[in-house]
Structure 1
Amino acid sequence: MNLSKEIAGMILDMLSDSGTTEIRRNDLAEQLGCVPSQINYVISSRFTPEHGYIVESRRGGGGYIKITRATYDLSTLKMHLINSIGNNIDERSCRAHIVNLHDRGLLEDKEAAVMLAATADKSYHDVPHELRDKLRANIFKQMLISSMK
């Protein structure tokens, strides 16, 4: 297992009970035998709002990073997602939203697969680059509205 997966796994284990954990970056880095910047990398890439997490950072007084698994009712989640998409969304962010919805049980396997295919860059091959993210956002929002009724 690579170090990033090990760090993410450890944080997920800490989150599993209450859905919230506070970690001291330096302590976790020391425990895992890595540098604190590796902890930052994992948090900034795997524990994002697109993945369903809220991250708060405090400096001073020992400092800590608080990670919370976001929980919403379905209508709040739908509203939050549609608002967060805005007018443009890239494939990576779109994929993260879809995987998060699937992992939470809000999308079936087939729905997620169709959404991933419809929002993949390959689907926009003939669309000018400057319009792809806008078109993807419009399609993704309509798919969300349809699938989450």
Structure 2
Amino acid sequence: MRNISDVIEQYLKEILKAKGKNVIEIKRSEIADQFQCVPSQINYVINTRFTMERGYIVESKRGGGGYIRIIRIQHHDKSEMIDEIIALINPSVSLQTTIDVLDRLMEEEIVTEREARIILSALDRETLAFKLPLRDEIRARIFTSILQTLKYFEK
């Protein structure tokens, strides 16, 4: 069974898709009322599921007329997106950011779920059994190499 965070995330992504645009504006309190949860739950979903690594920019305005704007980053081509990701993950990358980027790559249909799991197993902290920050630096170098390979297979 999916948890409330998964349901809220899916709902917001469906609104983005249904509007046919890459931008939505929501009121945190209205979404919280709709899902009968506390507003901080909406913050949690937005802060963890709509990140730059996952391909989103979030803007907010506080106050009575406040809103949260979620913008889906669009690229002219997948090569441009991969270049952006490479810049984002260097010189080091955490395991969580790696997972977020892999989710984005699956969503953009650049990798399959199977390929993402294989990549993740190679970049996992158990596989890269080094102390921090070396582990995150090595992960970034390996992931960059994988992304460069994907970039040239996309053409």
- The verdict on a shared fold, with TM-score over 0.5 as the criterion, is yes
Q: CA–CA distance in 1 between the matches of 2:3 and 2:145?
A: 38
1:23 aligns with 2:42: no
Stretches of structure 2 lacking an aligned partner (at least 5 in a row): none
- Tell me the equivalent position of 2:13: 12
Equivalent of 1:99 in 103, 108, 111 = 103
User: TM-score of the superposition, structure 1-length normalised?
Assistant: 0.90
Q: How does 1:1-149 map to 2 (within 5 A)?
A: 1-17=2-18, 18=20, 19-60=22-63, 62-72=65-75, 73-125=77-129, 127-149=130-152
2:51 is matched by which residue type in structure 1? T
Q: State the number of aligned residues.
A: 148
Structure 1 runs not aligned, ≥5 long: none
Q: TM-score, normalised to structure 2's length?
A: 0.87
Q: CA RMSD in A?
A: 1.6
1:113, distance to aligned residue in structure 2 (A): 3.0
Counterpart code for 2:120: L
Runs of 4+ in 1 over 3 A off after TM superposition: 108-111
Secondary structure, in 3 states, of the residue corresponding to 2:25?
A: strand
Quote how far apart the aligned CAs of 1:84 are: 0.6
Tell me the secondary structure at the aligned position of residue 87 of structure 1.
Answer: coil
Structure 1 counterpart of 2:49, one-letter code: R
